[in-house]
Structure 1
Amino acid sequence: MSTEELLTINHFELKFPFELRKPISCSFELLNRTDNHAAFKVKTTNPRKYIVRPNYGIVLPRSRCNVTVTMQAQSGTPLDMQSKDKFLLQCVITHPGAAPKDICQEMFNKEVGKYVQECKLKVVYVTPRRPPSPVPEEPEESKVQILKLVDERDTTIQKNGKLRRELESLKRRDPHKRAMVPILYAFLVGLIGILMGYCSS
């Protein structure tokens, strides 16, 4: 009997998105394509590090079984993000009506004329996906300050227009003060320029 005729596994790598101090789980699926009842058992080279649920069971004919492997929280990062841990899946045909409580180690002993399907699974660490960083919002104080500066700029522009009109009026009313107008105008323009530069910074 070939391995494909008993239980089929959907992948042979257990990929864990590694994170420190956090339990991590991944799963694989067993598919029974035959008309036989299949008993299975999962072993690991590092039983203190992993929890397998279920680690043994019965897969009914033409049905599936999902197995979850949980890696205990780790306090350190593995060297080069590589793992030497491995898992072994063993499968045998059992009699109809068998229950998980009937499964024992002797069922998977290799004897003459007895077929035991074995599949090796390796552990692979992958970098977890990070959600995109949200765009930081401007603090409320910054928004208030910007609005205040905009108001000051608008007020300065209005005052500039008013002063220009007053200067034009002075030119027309008193010819003797015309000599002072360019000086006042230059001073006013310089002052407004300084205020505008402060508001736009």
Structure 2
Amino acid sequence: MSKPVFESPLTIDPEHELRFVGPFNRPVVTIMTLRNNSCMPLVFKIKTTAPKRYCVRPNIGKIPPYRTTQVEICLQPFIYDQQEKNKHKFMVQSIMVPVESDLTDLNKLWKDLEPDQLMDAKLKCVFELPSAEANSENTSGGGAIGVSSGSAGGGSVGVNTSSASAEAVEGKPKLSSEDKPSNLPDPADYLEIAGENKALRESISELRKENLHLKDQITRYRSSPAVKQVNEPYAPILVEKQIPVFYIAIAVAAAIVSLLLGKFFL
């Protein structure tokens, strides 16, 4: 006799890997589908080893019995290096709670739980870039690619795949228009250009200050009384300061007359 198969209370789709299809110079979104297979409400929480690189909505929530919810995982833009090994992982923690439990404050409920009550499921992240062969296949046989993507995760998952993979299915014309941001310069080039522009502005400012300073010095030099004009005749300084002989003779005569008058009156 075969052993009975017990269905897990929580089904995660995709089950083991979260695929993100580039280009990665813009946000890339993928969808995770969670299904509650039990007759009790289920509370889940999603954690990642790289919280600064991803935006998860919602990262905590509740799923009614036999219902499904979707979680949107957005990978933030970054510089992709194929040689770099990706070690990003996600962990989905879940627990079944009684129907009469208060589910208004899920964070408080989660803090009150015992760690041994939680069920864990781990998924690894996979980064992919659309290859040239895939682009050529999209132009000729986009329908076949759509079937393969749908068969990987079921009918509902084929609709909720990442936006980048959906663009790859639609064909080459739309893919080429979406790929235009990948041809933009690297952010590091922008920083280098901005630095050079700032240095040039500072050099221009210094040259302007030096020019104004030279103009001011020339103006002061020209307005100084010690500076002679170009067309002014040269006159020696000693000649300008000499006393005329006529005035000296008058002074001597006056002295002699004053002596004679002094002797006459005495």
Q: How high is the TM-score relative to the length of structure 1?
A: 0.57
What SS class does the counterpart of residue 83 from structure 2 fall into?
A: helix
Aligned to 2:23: 19
Distance 1:8 1:45 in 2: 22
| Higher-RCO chain (CA-CA 8 Å, sequence separation at least 6) | 1
Aligned residues: 129
Higher CA-based Rg: 2
Aligned to 2:69: 65
Distance 2:37 2:87 in 1: 31
CA offsets 1:1-57 (integer angstroms, 9 cap, x no match): x99432111222110002132000001111111101000000001000000011110
- The answer to whether the 8 A contact 2:60-2:106 is kept is no
Segments of 5+ residues of structure 1 without an aligned counterpart are: 135-201
Would the alpha carbon gap of residues 107 and 26 (structure 1) be closer, same or farther in structure 2, given more than 3 Å must change? farther
The offset of 1:101, in angstroms, is: 2.9
Higher helix share: 2
Aligned to 2:124: 122
Matched, 1:9 2:5: no
Distance 1:21 1:3 in 2: 43
Aligned to 1:188: none
The offset of 1:102, in angstroms, is: 2.6
Would the alpha carbon gap of residues 3 and 121 (structure 1) be closer, same or farther in structure 2, given more than 3 Å must change? farther
What SS class does the counterpart of residue 80 from structure 1 fall into?
A: coil
Segments of 5+ residues of structure 2 without an aligned counterpart are: 140-171, 174-266
Report percent identity of matched pairs.
27
Which structure 2 residues correspond to residues 126-137 of structure 1 after superposition, within 5 A?
A: 126-128=128-130, 130=135, 132=139
Of residues 41, 51, 54 in structure 2, which corresponds to 1:50? Answer: 54
CA offsets 1:146-200 (integer angstroms, 9 cap, x no match): xxxxxxxxxxxxxxxxxxxxxxxxxxxxxxxxxxxxxxxxxxxxxxxxxxxxxxx
What SS class does the counterpart of residue 61 from structure 1 fall into?
A: coil
- The answer to whether the 8 A contact 2:55-2:75 is kept is yes
Which structure 2 residues correspond to residues 1-201 of structure 1 after superposition, within 5 A?
A: 4-11=7-14, 12-74=16-78, 76-80=79-83, 82-96=85-99, 98-99=102-103, 101-104=105-108, 105-111=110-116, 115-128=117-130, 130=135, 132=139
The amino acid that maps onto 2:37 is R
CA offsets 1:46-86 (integer angstroms, 9 cap, x no match): 00000001111001001001111000011x11343641100
The amino acid that maps onto 1:66 is Q
Distance 1:100 1:87 in 2: 25
CA offsets 1:106-153 (integer angstroms, 9 cap, x no match): 255424xxx31100010001223546456xxxxxxxxxxxxxxxxxxx
CA RMSD in angstroms, aligned pairs only: 2.4
Distance 1:33 1:46 in 2: 29
Would the alpha carbon gap of residues 66 and 98 (structure 1) be closer, same or farther in structure 2, given more than 3 Å must change? farther
